[in-house]
Chain A
Amino acid sequence: MEKQKKSLASNPIVRAIGVQRLVILIVLVVLYLFFYWRSVPFRRYTTLVQICNFMYYILLMAIGVTFPLITGGNDLSMGTGLICYSVIGSYLIRMYNMPVWAALICTIAMGVLMGTINGVIIAKIEIPPFIMTLSTMMFCRGMGAVLTNNFSGTWPDGSQAGAWFRSIFRIVTPNKTIIPLGMLWMILLVIIMTFILNHTRVGRYIIAIGSNKEALKLSGVNVFKWHVFAYMICGFFTGLAAIAYAGTFSNITPGTGAGFELDAIGSAIIGGTAMTGGSGSVVGTFLGCLLISLLKTGLPFIGLQANWQQIITGGILLAAVTIDMMRNRKRP
């Protein structure tokens, strides 16, 4: 029994993908087939489009938060931050006639700025990331509403000027089919961030911080810089998520968004990123997010409503972490 497990784990293909990721992939396929079998409406093409729509902003946050998680940190400010940035972005367009492209840049810049603030304080003053980002989470929740005077955000839509930005994520063909173009960008980003995590200095040092920050410092590396960088990446992706959110939903209410970040963090953890830091995978995060999104979209089709989604997602999260812990304990 022990031997079999070993040989499975040492199979080169399994090794390259990673055991946990392989498990999620299998669960994903099984789950998809299950929904497909139980529900006829689920089989429609629009279901896939719907999964994509609801997935973009969660996935972007999830990719971003993978980096602070790998350093052993966290970022709770993503959810309310996302709403805050996109409300302000739309405010700039509506009230100051800012061109959409500039508003997009501002939205991302706000994300990066918040990430930098989180990072600098966490890395310099060593406030626990949980507490630091909890306070910026609250800050963002209030700030969006205060700055815009409780402005309910709407980005250009339909035939309005500047609605072009929505076609970043979906293209509607003349015969009204929707092509989820966003998925292409997502896959591209996953590839780029995987490369950055595994093959560049940024990624290497972010992993090293999570593994043993003191040792990295003693090796003569400027730990502060790279530690902040992890949070900047996260902020940048939260900015992108704000755009994805604005591109998907027509109405953005300031002060909401709390809890979005939990889906994102959950995705990363299901995907095998360790809360204790030192290891993680962007591809895993992607798969974890697919799983959560599939559940969200799929469960209503078989008659299970929102509360059940939460219960089942919680169960899966627990199972994923348990598997991961058990596997790690086996090692000497």
Chain B
Amino acid sequence: MPEVILTMKGIDKSFPGVHALDHVDFEVRKGEVHALMGENGAGKSTLMKVLTGIYTKDSGTITYEGREVTFANPREAQQAGIVIVHQELNMMGHLTVAQNIFIGREPKKGIRIDDNAMNVEATKLFKQLGIEIDPKTTMSELTVAKQQMCEIAKAISHDAKVIIFDEPTAALTDTEIEQLFVIIRDLRAKGYGIVYISHRMDEIKKITDRVSVMRDGQYIGTLITEDCTKEDIINMMVGRVIYEDPKTQSQCPPDAPVVLKVEHLNAGKMVQDVSFELKKGEILGFAGLVGAGRTETCRALFGADPKQGGDIYIEGKKVEIHSPKDAVEHGLSYLSEDRKRYGIVLKKSITENSTLATLKEYTKGLFIDRPKEEKVTQRYVDELRTKTPGIDQLVMNLSGGNQQKVVIAKWLVNDAKIMIFDEPTRGIDVGAKQEIYELMGRLVKEGKSIIMISSEMTEILRMSDRILVMCEGKKTGELDIAEATQENIMNLATRDIDMREGDK
């Protein structure tokens, strides 16, 4: 049995109103990928932040390479060889990719930073990892997925012994995930200890050796991945069994009226001549690789980005949507994929965030109707099982997944007819995912219609009645759920790329 490199024992940590870690034990061995699982707010990220010196622990011991250690800040952890890829992107958008990767340890020539050497190093690093990114690009110009790959590259470039991945794949596409797995396997072979946090069961089965489970800030137990089933893990996480079966047949009656018709929508390079219909009570899945133009299509439809052309009909009537305000007035809502940028005000409370889009309905004369606001917030906090000490908690202090739930609540509060969900369950644990799926099911039963963008194939196959596939800004096909399979969706999703590669 490989040697243990890191042991955490009896780690305890409280925030005001939250006992985030309750005497948690955890260990990592050399050359293993150790999954850390648990529902949103279970304390996974907090445990890792205690380890890497971002938070100070209230009690407990950390033993690393045989010595008891306490890191006062991230730098000390890094120097000792423990690095972390955070759940949230942590990049400096104004700097270049290479500058981001080497921040804090720039190669120098005299007093001058040697940017050339840095670019060369970064190019080497990317090559070795099989990633194609120009190190001279400004960080903010990359897609979220590429930014995430840069963060991963940054972590690996440290001379580390333990690498922690906190939900690294939330923003990645399948091909990039495969790439990441190749990298991780390689690291494992080299004897690194790896901690892997994710809510995606299939990844856990694929890449990890052991699984430790946390629930409500407590350590529940550790399983050997090979010897356990998905259900075992979920059972430990939530204390009940959850099944995930794909849909086999459309639940939407064939004669349902069309509520939304989009014709020849054009908006820049990412949206080229997209047309589709959405029926009442239907869930229309938007499948495709990240960067296929699905988000752009919906943003253009919603009036968040300018469009160059295209007609939109709602319930048969042609409408003009030039801004999100117009869209909301016509009964549309849009749940953004990038919660930090578009969906949420981090320094405000859950209540304030929940009613932000619909504040007009919560005002009495000049004043905000607090009781009404609180009631509706509480309802969605309960319904989505948002883990928080109270509805006045700042969103900033919630765990990643629970922040996402607040965004969802914000749009549920807004009583729309047509809802666009862009990656609604990214970073959300299996239990809450289930809640959101059930909620979506309820919504369509009530006669609402949903467009769901998702990069998770299982989610597309499980929720959609019909699937629209896009590739590089164009619609490449439409499938009824009865005929859809992973393969034919993937084929459509990569069709244009194959053709273009042929051109070159």
Contact = CB atoms under 8 A, between A and B. Distances in A.
Interface string A187-227: 00000000100011100110110111011111111100000
A199 B91 CA distance: 19
> Looking at A217, A219, A221, A331, which has the most chain B CB atoms within 10 Å of its CB?
A219
Given A204-B103, A204-B106, A212 B115 contact: no
Given A201-B106, A216-B103, A219-B104, A279 B94 contact: yes
Contacts of A332: 141
Given A220-B75, A221-B104, A200 B112 contact: yes
A68 interface: no
Nearest to A208: B92
Contacts of B79: 220
A200 B94 contact: no
A298 interface: no
A278 interface: yes
Contact of B141 (A212, A216, A221, A331): A331
Given A210-B94, A212-B91, A212-B93, A218 B54 contact: yes
Interface residues of B, number: 25
Nearest to B92: A211
Nearest to B89: A215
B74 A204 contact: no
Given A199-B113, A200-B113, A331-B141, A207 B90 contact: no
Given A200-B111, A204-B113, A216 B73 contact: no
A57 to B, nearest CB: 28
A201 B99 CA distance: 11
Nearest to A207: B94
B140 interface: yes
Contacts of B93: 211-212, 278
A223 to B, nearest CB: 10
A11 B77 CA distance: 44
Interface residues of A, number: 24
A10 to B, nearest CB: 13
Contacts of A222: 75
Nearest to B74: A220
B449 interface: no
A204 B141 contact: no
Contacts of A216: 92, 103-104
B307 to A, nearest CB: 14
Contact of A199 (B73, B94, B115): B115
Contacts of B106: 201, 204
A208 B113 contact: no
B171 to A, nearest CB: 15
Interface of A: 195, 199-201, 204-205, 207-208, 210-212, 214-222, 278-279, 331-332
Interface of B: 54, 73-75, 77-79, 86, 90-95, 99, 103-104, 106, 108, 111-113, 115, 140-141
Q: Which 7 A-B pairs have the closest CB atoms?
A: A220-B75, A215-B90, A211-B92, A278-B94, A211-B94, A221-B104, A220-B74
Given A200-B113, A204-B95, 14 more contacts: A195-B112, A200-B112, A207-B92, A208-B92, A208-B95, A211-B93, A211-B95, A212-B92, A216-B103, A218-B54, A218-B74, A220-B73, A220-B78, A278-B93
7 contacts: A199-B112, A207-B92, A208-B95, A208-B103, A214-B90, A218-B54, A331-B141
